[in-house]
Amino acid sequence: MWHPDGWDVHVRLGVLTPHADVGPESELRAMAPPGVGLHAARVPFAAMRRGGAVVRGGGEDPTVALASVRAFAEPPGVDDAVELLAAAPVSVIAYAFTSSAYVIGGRAEAHMVARLGERAYGLPVVTTCLATVEALRALGVGRICLVDPPWFDGTLSDLGRGYYEDAGFEVPYAAPCGLPDGQDGQDCQDGQDLVRPGDLYEWVVPRVPDEAEAVVIGGNGFRSVGAVEALEAALGRPVLTANQALLWSALRAAGAPTSGVVHYGRLFAAG
């Protein structure tokens, strides 16, 4: 007689995402096992317009301004969003934004987590890049191949390389993915809808160096989790993506099992 109404969950995860980005919620909901609820709060991102269009420079440097990326991690926007989201009955706050960690670095990211934790009434706060570092260590990985979204420029990808090197990893390969990103003059779509799992698979596989022990695909707005299982089968090594690592870390922080997540990588079997 009664039908599911979404209330019967064992744990609720709070997610912070750029205000016009649907990528993190889409992938997290696809991966989340039964009994896990997801509840998102929007955080203002100055480089994003209505509908997901990203304002980027023109000419020879059509990239998202690093100042906008840095500002996303600063008060008051994200702090206010955390406080409002933490007032809901959630068990953890998950920060679904990769590039700010690249720009501010690991030490500043840790300070941001502590600051947000105070606004979250003591709830655990997990971030994408710290989650990825934690996941790589859990898997015993020391050398990675880093693939970033096509809308990252070389400078931002190099900052990503530096982030992981500062965390103690070797990075023999780091570059933005060369798939189409929908660029169209000053404004463009992030390219989520243009990326298909098969295209990502075909682009990544031949570029992973033999010495890399794992592949890390950055960018919470980068459509990638659908290719994880196939990539791992082809490469014979772990593949981590931004939202996959974030979900893994959030479940652990909430005291929930990770083993219920299937088809999205060997990471979830690591516990």
Residues near 126 by beta carbon (within 8 Å), at least 6 away in sequence:
92, 93, 94, 95, 113, 246, 249, 250, 253
| 205 neighbors 211 (Cβ within 8 angstroms) | no
Q: Which domains does the chain have, with CATH numbers?
A: 11-270 (3.40.50.12500)
pLDDT digits (tens, 9 = 90+) for 14-61: 999 999 899 999 999 999 999 999 999 999 998 676 756 556 554 444
Burial class (CB in 10 A: 0-12, 13-18, 19+), 83: middle
Q: What is the pTM of this model?
A: 0.93
Start-end of H helices in 16-76: 23-31, 66-72
Sequence-ordered list of residues with C-beta below 8 angstroms from that of 166, at least 6 positions apart, any chain = 105, 106
Q: Comparing C-alpha atoms, which of 271, 199, 208 is closest to residue 234?
A: 208
Per-residue pLDDT at 59: 40
pLDDT of amino acid 184 = 45
pLDDT single digits (tens) 165-197: 999 999 999 999 998 765 443 333 445 677 899
At 75, list the tokens. 């008060």
Query: What are the phi and psi torsion angles at 239 (to 5°)?
Result: -125, 125
pLDDT value of residue 189: 42
- Could you tell me if 6 and 37 are in contact, meaning their C-beta atoms sit under 8 angstroms apart? yes
Beta strands in the chain (DSSP E): 11-18, 36-43, 53-55, 92-95, 125-127, 143-148, 170-176, 187-189, 214-217, 239-241
Neighbours of 267 (CB within 10 A): 26
Sign of the CA dihedral running 155, 174, 143, 93:
positive
Q: What are phi and psi of 240, to 5 degrees?
A: -115, 140
Which parts of the chain have pLDDT scores under 70? 47, 49, 51-64, 181-192
> What integer pLDDT is reported at residue 46 of this predicted model?
82
The backbone torsions φ and ψ at residue 93, rounded to the nearest 5 degrees and listed phi first, read -110, 125
Report pLDDT for 251: 98
